[in-house]
């Protein structure tokens, strides 16, 4: 297949439905067998393995950027993609895998999977293998890998992660991962490998207790932001965040992070602690100048991304109640006094009421849109819930239609990363 044929194949074959039931297994033996048949491309790869409910992709991107700044080219594996599938396999802040290379690799992997009698529609699994082979064949010996869903029964857990990172955990993929944050945390902490280090962002007490127990069971070492590491935000403006970042070994003062939101300072600190751990294992120290260069230049589209200045057009993929609250806080911090019109599209099984209440603290109106190609919540239903939250609400057929009708107001698009694709159409 060429790239155009691959895209058509993915549209036909990639299941995009809501979570149902609970997850209690994964065919790890099948995946390990497939990797063995492909020459075990993961062997020798030094991995920063990242899970959590929000901020995973930011941690991955910053960890890879920090490694590259220290002369260690690093690959990334993230999801979902914003517009193009090749975005899932990258090189930190560098370009993604060439799209024709990806098409060629996936064509070969689909054929190999068929010959082994395995499920050729497990596209995400084949993308992981494609990423590992790409890293091996291009000489990348470091990678920051984002967990797809959960941790314990996620395909990436076949990897022997050198450092595990746990971004903030909230309610997500219920009931698939669990019905409480503690149950979900038990799934996520299972990526910690025996004797390895785990870096955790600040967590609610019930989640923190589960993480501490999980790391102890693995015989690992736990570094917690707020205890063994931490940060102090000094400045928030329209170009990013300035913060002091403290690792277990030193403090990096007045570091500028080019991403918006004080939560990005947390993500940067988690990534920095992970990279420090990898470098220490090789007898190296973190270079403060390299840290500043990497974090000042890092880019991660679709996460509090300013697309237009006057009027403001901001995009953020907040899709849970917790991430909507973080978005509202960041909008207050970086754009004080602005009252927003939100363009919102939600997938099913989202807590629309809690999300909309958070947005209502900084907004006056909401335009509700569908999320094409996915099991999304009826925009009319979202509009009804928005009005109950105190927002003026109406429905539009698409993001572009909503923007065309918005006029000169300041707009924030949110609710799902999948809405980003409509901006590129």
* Residue that finishes a domain, picked among 265, 297, 329: 297
Q: What is the pLDDT of residue 373?
A: 79
Backbone angles phi, psi at 180, to 5 degrees: -130, 160
| Count of Cβ atoms closer than 10 Å to residue 381 Cβ | 13
Share of the chain above pLDDT 70, in %: 97
Q: What is the pLDDT of residue 216?
A: 98
Q: Is the dihedral of CA 30, 32, 36, 40 positive or negative?
A: positive
Q: What is the pLDDT of residue 259?
A: 97
Mean pLDDT of all residues in 240-248? 98
At 210-221, the pLDDT tens digits run 999 999 999 999
Mean pLDDT of all residues in 101-118? 95
Strands 411-414 and 340-344: parallel
pTM of this prediction? 0.93
Confidence of residue 93 (pLDDT cuts 50, 70, 90): low
Same domain, 211 and 324: no
Residue 275 predicted with pLDDT over 90:
yes
**CA distance linking residue 415 with residue 321, whole number of Å:** 10
Confidence of residue 176 (pLDDT cuts 50, 70, 90): confident
Residue-wise burial string across 13-47, b where 16 or more C-beta atoms lie within 10 A, e elsewhere: eeeeeebeeebeebeeebbeebbeebeebbeebbb
Same domain, 408 and 270: no
Same domain, 267 and 329: no
Same domain, 225 and 346: no
Q: Is the dihedral of CA 171, 271, 412, 90 positive or negative?
A: negative
148: domain CATH number is: 3.40.1190.10
Residue 150 predicted with pLDDT over 90:
yes
Residue 21 predicted with pLDDT over 70:
no
Residue 366 belongs to domain spanning:
305-424
Same domain, 204 and 106: yes
Mean pLDDT of all residues in 28-41? 96
**CA distance linking residue 164 with residue 169, whole number of Å:** 14
Confidence of residue 315 (pLDDT cuts 50, 70, 90): very high
Same domain, 208 and 320: no
Same domain, 256 and 386: no
Residue 401 predicted with pLDDT over 90:
yes
- What are the residues facing 127 on neighbouring strands? none
Mean pLDDT of all residues in 305-333? 94
Same domain, 82 and 131: yes
386: domain CATH number is: 3.90.190.20
Residue 16 predicted with pLDDT over 90:
no
Kindly report the CA angle at 40 between 36 and 46, in degrees rounded to 5?
Answer: 150
Q: What is the pLDDT of residue 24?
A: 75
> Which of 201, 425, 412, 169 has its CA nearest to residue 302?
412
Same domain, 331 and 286: no
Same domain, 208 and 347: no
Mean pLDDT of all residues in 142-146? 98
Confidence of residue 19 (pLDDT cuts 50, 70, 90): low
Q: What is the pLDDT of residue 17?
A: 53
Q: What is the pLDDT of residue 52?
A: 96
* Residue that finishes a domain, picked among 239, 270, 297: 297
Q: What is the mean pLDDT of the chain?
A: 93
Residue 94 predicted with pLDDT over 70:
no
Confidence of residue 422 (pLDDT cuts 50, 70, 90): confident
* Residue that finishes a domain, picked among 279, 297, 315: 297
Residue 121 predicted with pLDDT over 90:
no
Q: Say how many domains are in the chain.
A: 2
Q: What is the pLDDT of residue 372?
A: 86
Same domain, 13 and 110: yes
Same domain, 383 and 311: yes
């Amino acid at each position: 297949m060429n790239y155009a044929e691959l895209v058509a194949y993915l549209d036909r074959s990639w299941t995009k439905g809501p979570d149902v039931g609970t997850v209690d297994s994964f065919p790890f033996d099948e995946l390990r067998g497939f990797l063995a048949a492909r020459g075990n491309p993961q062997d020798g790869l030094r991995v920063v393995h990242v899970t959590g409910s929000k901020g995973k992709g930011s941690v991955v991107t910053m960890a890879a950027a920090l490694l590259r700044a220290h002369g260690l080219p690093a690959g990334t594996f993230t999801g979902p993609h914003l517009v193009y599938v090749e975005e899932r396999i990258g090189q930190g802040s560098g370009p993604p895998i060439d799209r024709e290379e990806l098409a060629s690799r996936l064509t070969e992997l689909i054929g190999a999977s068929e010959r082994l009698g395995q499920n050729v529609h497990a596209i995400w699994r084949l993308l992981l293998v494609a990423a590992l082979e790409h890293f091996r064949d291009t000489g990348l010996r470091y990678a920051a890998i984002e967990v797809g869903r959960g941790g314990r029964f996620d395909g990436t857990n076949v990897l022997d992660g050198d450092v595990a990172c746990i971004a903030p955990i909230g309610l997500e993929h219920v009931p698939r991962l669990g019905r409480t944050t503690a149950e979900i945390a038990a799934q996520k902490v299972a990526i910690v490998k025996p004797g390895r280090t785990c870096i955790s962002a600040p967590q609610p007490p019930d989640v923190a207790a589960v993480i501490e127990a999980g790391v102890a069971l693995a015989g690992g070492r736990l570094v917690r932001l707020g205890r063994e590491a931490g940060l102090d935000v000094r400045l928030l403006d329209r170009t990013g965040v300035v913060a002091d970042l403290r690792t277990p070994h030193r403090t990096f003062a007045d570091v500028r992070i080019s991403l918006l939101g004080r939560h990005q300072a947390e993500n940067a600190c988690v990534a920095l602690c992970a990279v420090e751990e990898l470098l220490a294992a090789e007898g190296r120290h973190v270079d403060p100048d390299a840290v500043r260069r990497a974090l000042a230049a890092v880019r991660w589209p679709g996460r509090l991304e300013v697309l237009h200045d006057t009027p403001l057009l901001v995009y953020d993929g907040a899709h849970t109640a917790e991430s909507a609250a973080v978005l509202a806080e960041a909008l207050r911090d970086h754009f004080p006094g602005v009252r927003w019109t939100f363009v919102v599209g939600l997938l099913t099984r989202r807590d629309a009421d809690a999300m909309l209440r958070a947005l209502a603290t900084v907004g006056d109106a909401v335009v509700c849109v569908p999320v094409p190609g996915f099991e999304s919540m009826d925009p009319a239903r979202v509009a009804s819930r928005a009005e109950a939250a105190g927002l003026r609400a109406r429905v539009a057929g698409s993001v572009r239609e909503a923007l065309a009708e918005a006029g000169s107001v300041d707009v924030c698009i949110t609710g799902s990363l999948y809405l980003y694709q409509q901006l590129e159409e």
